[in-house]
Amino acid sequence: MFTIYRIQSSIFHLLVRSLVLTCLVEIASSGFTSTFIRSQCPSTDIPLDSVEFAIPKGYNAPQQVHITQGDYDGRAVLVSWVTMVEPGSSEVLYGTLKDNYDLSAQGTFTNYTFYNYSSGYIHHCLLSGLEYNRKYYYKIGKGSSVREFWFITPPEVDIDAPYTFGIIGDLGQTYNSLSTLEHYMKSGGQTVLFVGDLSYADQYQYNDGSRWDSWGRLVERSTAYQPWIWSAGNHEIEYRPDLGEVFPFKAFLHRYATPHVASKSSSPLWYAVRRASAHIIVLSSYSPFVKYTPQWLWLLEELKQVDREKTPWLIVLMHAPLYNSNEAHYMEGESMRAAFEGWFVRLKVDVVFAGHVHAYERSYRISNINYNITSGTRYPLPDKSAPVYITVGDGGNQEGLASRFLDPQPEYSAFREASYGHSILELKNRTHAFYHWIRNDDGKSVPAEHVVFRNQYWASNGRRRRLRKNNLSHLMSQTASY
Ligand SMILES: [Fe+2]
């Protein structure tokens, strides 16, 4: 009996604490600039011959192994890897029992050159028709160079399916990057939402492709075992007409495949997936997105597919933040804000995650959709229908931290701090999610802020009724006919 009382008491305290935190998100009106001063470490890349970039043993052994979701709903996994000497096999053997690979899939390989760099053989293999919520073992390579890994498929798309996402951005390949990665791997995250800027290979002479290879080996410790949902940043563009390289995103597109066809996208740079209780929309900040462009048209159609009765959590990923109060890259996302913010508010997007700015920041729920150059308040206003905007560009790359914030802190900014780290989003059910940002703190993993998100659709009857009444397709066609 006493035990039951203690459990009830604990639940009550948890609920009270959640309510307080929720209130902080929903009604707090003054932001917080963290006074934490991080001692500066050199932001230099790990040397190429370091153990962190170790090449796996064996002739032509597969390296840089990474997986991502391979379809719309989480029943497929796309496995990618690189062989350096010769193509070798593009086959993946897999199964649900260790050492019993009773299934197989045949992939393909590609390669590319970038000025004076020639890539290895980049393999992509789709494993489809997987069971939900199962652990699969897989192996790639030949003879003594075979390598074995595993992954766990997500639960079936369901309104209350709990799931934990990590959010990482602007990672690079310094010791700070490694620290972020190692902290994330201890966090319980099941899938990474990556908000762009992967290797920073473009910081080297001739965009040295061997830094793409070293980055692939650095992150393999996580990317081989759980999906990373990729979005592209400015460091992936690699437009170098002076070197004769005029196809943007060349290395990224060859190396990091995405399931764009499953969401009827014409480009791997923008697409959507559904995973557990989340509908995740990936946008490209550096591809055309104004009205009538392929990305704009695709987003218009994809938003009509969102069904909050199946996937209550609507999450958008992009690289350049739409709201951020750092001096670095200030307003670089403004044109995309003008293009898409109205849709995000009308469809009650829960969270927009971005990177690019090398510091952490979270906004209140605000919007600026009523200002149209000639009328309206030229300033974001509190708006319960608006997303929370979170910048997680603090993975730890060689460019260092963006430590100069606008002063005073704008009213739309809830929390900001120039430290390295990553975020965790725990979807608990259709109504609530726990969110944390974890600061690296010079090697230690330190939780720096926690908030509870109430779902924008399910946590408010009034808003849900309005969304239903307005019928999403009708709403979007109205939007399209501006
Ligand atoms: Fe960036």
Whole-number Å distance, alpha carbon 355 to ligand 1 midpoint, is: 7
What are the tens digits of pLDDT across the range 227-279?
A: 999 999 999 999 999 999 999 999 999 999 999 999 999 999 999 999 999 99
Q: pLDDT by residue (tens digit) across 4-43?
A: 444 444 444 444 444 444 434 443 456 888 877 665 567 8
Examine the residue annotation and report whether 329 is marked as an active-site residue of this protein. Answer: yes
- 252 C-alpha to ligand 1 centroid (Å): 14
Tens of pLDDT, residue by residue over 102-161, are 999 999 999 999 999 999 999 999 999 999 999 999 999 999 999 999 999 999 999 999
Inter-residue contact 184 to 165 (CB < 8 Å): no
User: Mean pLDDT across the stretch 453-470?
Assistant: 79
Per-residue pLDDT at 211 exceeds 60: yes
Q: Tens of pLDDT along 307-351?
A: 999 999 999 999 999 999 999 999 999 999 999 999 999 999 999
326: CA distance to ligand 1 center in Å? 13
Task: Report how far residue 272's alpha carbon sits from residue 22's, in angstroms, rounded to the nearest whole number.
Answer: 28
- Please say whether the beta carbons of 454 and 22 come within 8 A: yes
Tokens, residue 24 = 């902080």
Contacts of 123 (CB under 8 A, 6+ apart): 62, 79, 80, 81, 82, 83, 90, 107, 108, 109, 140
Handedness of CA 287, 293, 296, 299 (dihedral sign): negative
| CA 173–ligand 1 middle distance (angstroms) | 14
pTM: 0.92
Q: Residues 329, 356, 358, 422: which is the catalytic one?
A: 329
CA of 332 to the centre of ligand 1 (A): 10
CATH code of domain 157-196+269-481: 3.60.21.10
3-class secondary structure per residue, 422-439: EEEEEECCCCEEEEEEEE
